[in-house]
Structure formats: structure tokens, C-alpha cells
Structure 1
Amino acid sequence: MTTPQHPDFRVAVITGAGSGIGRATAHEFARRGWALALLGRREEPVRRTADGAGAQTLVLPVDVTDPDAVAAAFARIAAVYGRIDVLFNNAGTFGPSGSVEDVDLTQWADTLDVNVTGTLLCASSAFAVMREQRPQGGRIINNGSVSARRPRPRSVAYTASKHAVTGISRSIALDGRPFGITATQIDIGNAETELLAGIGAGKGAAQPDGTLRAEPVFPPEHAARMVVDVAELPPTTAVHELVITATGMPYDGRG
């Protein structure tokens, strides 16, 4: 059954919604009155996000690397809500630590499967809904990472995958132009999430000189606010690329 719509009814789909930036972004969308579809590989963390959002929410456990599961999830979203206004493509994995001569090829393939194929599958399904809905159009916001611009040492799999996300983002922007579908890539550096535990304290992060050094971090809620600010721009405005980092984080030159 399609949810009855009114002029202010807006739907955001978030992948990787069970923790970190995904959870913070879901809560920010909910605070501003959006309806949510939350996707994640494990149902329990996604339900915790939904419980904390206090908004109209659809929880969908989905492996973003499974084409049939992704297609079914987006068909369900369209059936329940009738439209998709924003997709925040946030699911991802760091993958293996390894330089170009010793990276494990199985782990390399797994990293590309999640970060590249998963991003493409979700974008493709959202694009198809946005193209056919009325009013037509929408926004696809991809979580890139500053590694889409500057690598860390021994991160070739993750870095390559995030450079590929940039190609997907730019292709969405071009292919979506006739349909009012825009693409934004937000490249985030050192948000203080579970995945980055230890960078701001503890053992620190790998530096180009081979040392480990603590780096500045910032709350994921700040990145979430930026995502939702872009989502709430009028359709006459497109934002192609954004970079947000902790102040003082090594970025240009990475050290």
C-alpha cells in the first residue's frame, strides 16, 4: 500500500544505516521530518537506528552486493512510500591493509564488491524509481571518503574502490541530467565512528613515514548535517562534490 502523500512528504533511503555516519544521518533526516527507509546487512543495528529516529521508518535488512535483494528492497520502498527523494549511499568497508605488491586478491575483490558494486546497485535501483515517479527526479548522495582524493599508506583496495565511487557519482550526474536526478559525492575524513576507533586516541593512524600518529576527529553528526542540507536544497540546485574533514587532519600530502 502506498503511503498517502502531501506536498511536504519526503523520503530518504540510507544504506549502512546501522551505525556511524549512517545512523547519525538517519536521525538528522528524522529530526527534519523526513520519512526513512533504512538498509543494512544486519537487522538488529538498523532497528536500533530506527528506534532512535522517532520517524516514519521502513527497516530493510539487505546485503548491498546481492542484486536481487537490492532490487526487492527498492521495490518495497516504492510500494510503501510511492517515491524516493534522496538515496544516501553510505554502506562500505575498509577492506584489507596492504600495498600494491602484497594486497590479498580475495579481500581486494570483496572490497570492490561492497564499495563499488553495492554503490552501483543501490544507485541503479534508486535512479529507476526517481526517473518514473511524479514529480520526476531526486538526489543520489554517495559517501566517498577523502581516500577518493588522497590515499592513506597501504590502502590500495579501499583507495581504488573510492576512486571508482567518484566515477559512479559523475556518471549518475550526467545520466540523470535529463530526468532531474542529481548526484553528490561527500568525501569525509576522520569522522569519529566505530570504524575509526583508535585514530583520535590509542594507536593512531598510519602515516606516510611509516609511523602511527593520533589524528584529529570530529563528530559524525556534523557530516550528517551536511548530507541533509544538500538533500533539502531546491531541485534547481546541484552540489557535485564536498569534502569535510576534522580540522587539522592530514589531508594535502597526508602528513
Structure 2
Amino acid sequence: MSICLITGSHPRHLFLARELIRTGTVCAWIMEEREAFVPEPPPGLAPDLAGLFNHHFAERDRIEQLVFTRAGGPDKTPDFVVGTSGLNDPETIAFARNSGPQLVVSYGCSKLSEGFLRTVGCRFWNVHGGLSPDYRGVATHFWPSYFLEPQMTGVTLHETTDFLDSGALILTTSAPMTRGDSLHRLAARNIEHFAEVFCRSVRGLDFASLPDGKPQKKYGKAFLSGDWRPEHLRLIYEVHDDRIVDHVLDGKLTGRVPRLMSVLD
């Protein structure tokens, strides 16, 4: 067993943890307890916009509970649990180092410090819910649909660096769209698809000779938390009735085709 897994605590994070643990390659699991999955709307929103906000996040919760908990939770409990302020504490770093990993895989946790990366003494890969370099940063399963190219929804596995989602690429995946997919169902489908592809590759990895990633040759948009506003929800729900995937499949919208890659083949 060669992977130290570091995840958040939301349903999608626990789903990937379960799938990776089932490959028999995980030697330790660190879980960071994240913020509430269904946030309260910001104060001062107009009633109709507050309603859209509540609908959006309640629907995300409904879909993730439906998709990611239907087969049960992880087969084991985390070996080490921390809050967001403790992920880079010396105790957490020591636990990761003492588990003796050849690879650390992170998903949905806070940024790992330079000291964490330097001290553990192995390779670090990060799972990013967006296609890098086109969609880096925050809410990157939201923005492709907002920009009317849901086919650019995907997941990236990259080498972990100090720069936001900019490390050399290990694997990119994008799930085929299915008629009737809402924004959140498409996001969940992409996480399911990535887990299937990555876990299949993990079983055949030579951890003593891990492949190098492919450097990102262009610089796409890095979305920050402040870029998203509740007003963006109007286009998704009021203009397109959360049917943007169907509009693409019907040929009413066109756009880019994702360029996918893997160094794990």
C-alpha cells in the first residue's frame, strides 16, 4: 500500500476515498472537515435571488447524496481527522510522513503548505474538479455550464505545486453528457467517471517509478471565490432552466471539445 490520501469531508470527497481505498493501494487517509455543504444565502439578497441560491445548493446536496452515498460510505474511517486550520500542522505532516507513502493524493482539501510538500519526502498529486488549464481554481464545475460549454466539464489530476492547479498534468477526464443532465448531475457524473478511470490506472501503477506529468503549455482562467455571485444563477435557472446540456445535445449551442490526456497508460 503506497498512497497517503488527503481529502475533504463532502460527499464527493468521501466517494473518491472509498473507491481508492478499495484498490488496496491506500496506506493512510487524512480527512479535513470542511465547511457546511449547504450554505446560507448572503444577507440582503432579493427574495427571488435568495430562492435561486437556496435551490442551487439544495440541489447540489440532493444530487451528491443520491449519487455518492447510494452505495454506502467508505469501508473504513479516516486514520487522521483535522479541521481546516490543522491541515498543515506539524502533527498532520508527521502522520503523513510516518505512514511511509510513495505518493500523496489530495482532493478537496485546503492548500498544502510548502513545508508539507517538502517534509513528507514523496510525490504529490492533486485531484482538481475542473479541466486545467482552461478551468482552474474555484467552482470549476459551475463555470463551463455558465459559459455555455458544459462539454468542458471535467476532472484533472496534476502534480501538486505552490501555484493554483498549475502542476504538470497526469490525467484529464471528461464524462460524456447524458440527456437530462442538470449542472449538478453533470458534475457528479464527471467525478464518477474520473474515479473509474483513475482507480483502474492505480491498480497497475509502479509506485517505485511514477510517471512524470506533462507541463501545462498555456495559461487558462483561474477562478477565485470572489468571481462567483448569486446573480450568475439567473442564466442557469431562469434563462436555460438548467437544461444547458440538452441544448448542446440538440445542437442549439456549440463550443470547444475537451483535449484529454494521460501519462498513466
Q: TM-score range by the shorter chain?
A: 0.3 to 0.5
> Higher relative contact order at CA 8 Å, sep ≥6: structure 1 or structure 2?
2
TM-score by length of 2: 0.45
Structure with the larger helix share: 1
TM-score by length of 1: 0.46
